[in-house]
Amino acid sequence: MPAKHPLVPAPTRTNVNGAAFVVLCLLALSIQSCRPPAQAEVIAAEFVEKAESAIEKRSLTALLDLLAEDYHDEFNRNRRDMLALTSGYLRHSKSVYLFIDLQRAAFLSDSRIDCTLFVALASTPIEKRSMLPDLNGEFYRVDMELAQADSRWRVIQVTWRQAMLDDVMNGEGADPS
């Protein structure tokens, strides 16, 4: 029989049950958030590509499909308001090009992703980051939350802020090209 260590208690039914409970809780937590963090970035990047394509193609139908029914932003604009705002912008702009840099994406839960992007908006194509300093455009920081319903991801909430060129150029995920 092994010698007992004075600091390690002998196993008791209570200790074993407590340990089993802790293991079960950890297992439940790992199952609940079984998606790897990198998958949030993949989902967010695919969503951003769809949004960018819809805007550049001027497709309000495709944009509407990306907004959740209960969409809202910090100005209390809903889905219909956002569609009207976008429609007006597209009507007054001959062409719209975007440069989007996904900075961060993380699961809030299995069906929600929080992400941050920097967006450059211009009337000429933006093929790479190095073109931004010569760009006559607008820069924004966008914090958005995506929600999954019926196996589709849609934006449910957005916060927009004016950004500076340096924010886009020196972003965390900035690629020098």
The pLDDT score that the predictor gives to residue 19 is: 45
The pLDDT score that the predictor gives to residue 7 is: 46
The pLDDT score that the predictor gives to residue 95 is: 82
Does any domain span residue 117? yes
The pLDDT score that the predictor gives to residue 48 is: 94
Half-sphere exposure of 37 (CA within 13 A, CB side): 4
Structurally, the chain folds into a number of domains equal to 1
Does any domain span residue 109? yes
Q: Which two tokens stand for residue 175?
A: 């690629």
Regions in the chain scoring below 50 on pLDDT: 5-9, 12-34, 172-177
Does any domain span residue 3? no
The pLDDT score that the predictor gives to residue 176 is: 42
CATH label of the domain that carries residue 44: 3.10.450.50
The pLDDT score that the predictor gives to residue 4 is: 52
Distance CA(131)–CA(150), nearest Å, equals 39
100-112: burial string, b at 16+ Cβ within 10 Å, e else:
bbbbebebeeeeb
Q: What angle do CA 101, 127, 58 make, to 5 degrees?
A: 80
The pLDDT score that the predictor gives to residue 37 is: 57
Does any domain span residue 99? yes
Does any domain span residue 133? yes
pLDDT per residue as tens digits for the range 83-127: 898 888 888 888 888 889 999 999 999 999 999 999 988 888 888
For the chain, give the mean pLDDT. 79
Does any domain span residue 17? no
Q: Which two tokens stand for residue 102?
A: 């996904």
| DSSP 8-state assignment for residue 135 | -
Distance CA(39)–CA(62), nearest Å, equals 23
Does any domain span residue 92? yes
Q: Are 118 and 100 in contact (CB under 8 A)?
A: yes
Does any domain span residue 48? yes
The pLDDT score that the predictor gives to residue 129 is: 86
pTM: 0.72
The pLDDT score that the predictor gives to residue 10 is: 52
**Domain that includes residue 75, residue range:** 37-169
